[in-house]
Each structure stands twice: as C-alpha cells, then as structure tokens.
Chains A and B, each alone.
Chain A
Amino acid sequence: EAGVAQSPRYKIIEKRQSVAFWCNPISGHATLYWYQQILGQGPKLLIQFQNNGVVDDSQLPKDRFSAERLKGVDSTLKIQPAKLEDSAVYLCASSFLSGGSYEQYFGPGTRLTVT
C-alpha cells in the first residue's frame, strides 16, 4: 500500500513570496491533516479535512495561509505572502476516519526555508 506522498521535499523562498505544497493521502482515507513543525518543536495542526470539507482550521493563519482538498483526495496548502517565521516542516497526514482508534499516517514532509 502506497503511503502519504508530499512534494516538494524542500523549498527555499524569499519573504513575501508565495509557495504551495501538495499532498496525496493514502487511497480511501477520508481525513487529511496538515501540521506545521517548527524546528525543535512538536507538530501543530493547521487544518483538518473530512473528505473535501474543513472540520478544524482554528490554528490556520487565514490572512496568509489557505488550503483546499480537491474532490476529497489531493490537498494543496498555500502561503502568500510568506514570512520568516513560516520556516518549518509541513507534514501531511491521513487516516481512514477521524478520531477513535484510526491511525494517522504521515508523509515525509516539506521543509520550507524563508530567507
């Protein structure tokens, strides 16, 4: 079974530029998560999708971050304009359903550096 795919693996941009990350979850997984992991910290949830609907985006900086999940499968996370403090690893995870005993499977992450 293929795992969660993410691209790109690395991205370097200058502040005020825009960037987009892509995630392809495990086939059949209804729930998709985007986490932000700042160096030396644990991941923090940015947004959670159930199929193509948002169920939790309370920690998403909506003035600069946006995310969508097309047709309930792939997802894109965008930052525009980027700030220095956005430098982090962006992890995508998916699970069959949310909560309960369903395990979240993580992708390899995208390391973003904002200069």
Chain B
Amino acid sequence: AQTVTQSQPEMSVQEAETVTLSCTYDTSESDYYLFWYKQPPSRQMILVIRQEAYKQQNATENRFSVNFQKAAKSFSLKISDSQLGDAAMYFCAYRSAFGEAGGTSYGKLTFGQGTILTVHP
C-alpha cells in the first residue's frame, strides 16, 4: 500500500516571501500522480498543482512549483511571493496511474497528514 508523509504539521511565512512544504511517499509502483491540495477553513479541497511521475520536468503553476525527486520519493511544494490568501491546510496526495485498464486501487487519492500554513502580513 502507498503511504504519504508530511513531516511539518505547521509552517509560517511572511507575506511576499517564499516557503517550501515537504512531502515524502512510499510506493512500489513506477507510474503514478502526485498532487498538492489546498484546504481553506471553508473545507473546500482545491487542487494546487499536479505532477506526473513519468515526467522529469517539475510542474509549475504561477507562484506554485514543485521539486519532484523520484528516486528519493520526495515531492515538495514551493510557494513564491506568498499572499494572505495562501493561508490554509495543504495536503500532499498520491494516486496510482493505473486507471480503467486495471489495478485494484485506481482512482483513489492517498493523502498525507497535512501542513497548516500561516501567512503573516
């Protein structure tokens, strides 16, 4: 079974600065997807960024980028130019790439424990 670990229960950053959230995972699969989700107090889970394991290039979405180290099974999220609206719980998640073709656990997301990010003005 796959596991996802976020070792930082809480992080804080000053507005306009950069912060990095850490995530490690364990899997025996060679093809999979990794995600970072943001969950504000409203509880709505919002996709921040996605990385496909077979792509060596790190994903980037505006101020959000990842550092994907497949061999080390590490997947960190960097938030640049932090804004007050970035304050939320952030979850790292794993999903098998085996979709309709097979696999017994396809589709489901396996989440880490989350990191609470505080942004100070």
Grouping DSSP codes into helix (H, G, I), strand (E, B) and loop, the B interface class, with mixed when no group exceeds half, is loop
A45–B109 touching, CB < 8 Å: yes
B47–A103 touching, CB < 8 Å: yes
CB distance from B57 to the nearest CB of A (A): 15
Partner of A108, one of B44, B50, B106: B44
CB distance from B113 to the nearest CB of A (A): 6
CB distance from A11 to the nearest CB of B (A): 14
CB-CB nearest in chain B for A56: B108
CA distance A44 to B52 in the complex (A): 22
Sample of 12 more A-B contacts, CB < 8 Å, known A42-B93, A44-B111: A33-B107, A41-B114, A42-B91, A48-B108, A56-B105, A56-B107, A56-B108, A93-B45, A99-B97, A99-B99, A101-B52, A107-B44
A-contacting residues of B (Cβ < 8 Å)? 4, 33, 42-47, 50, 52, 91, 93, 95-100, 103-114
B-contacting residues of A (Cβ < 8 Å)? 31, 33, 35, 40-45, 48, 55-56, 89, 91, 93, 95, 97-104, 106-109, 111
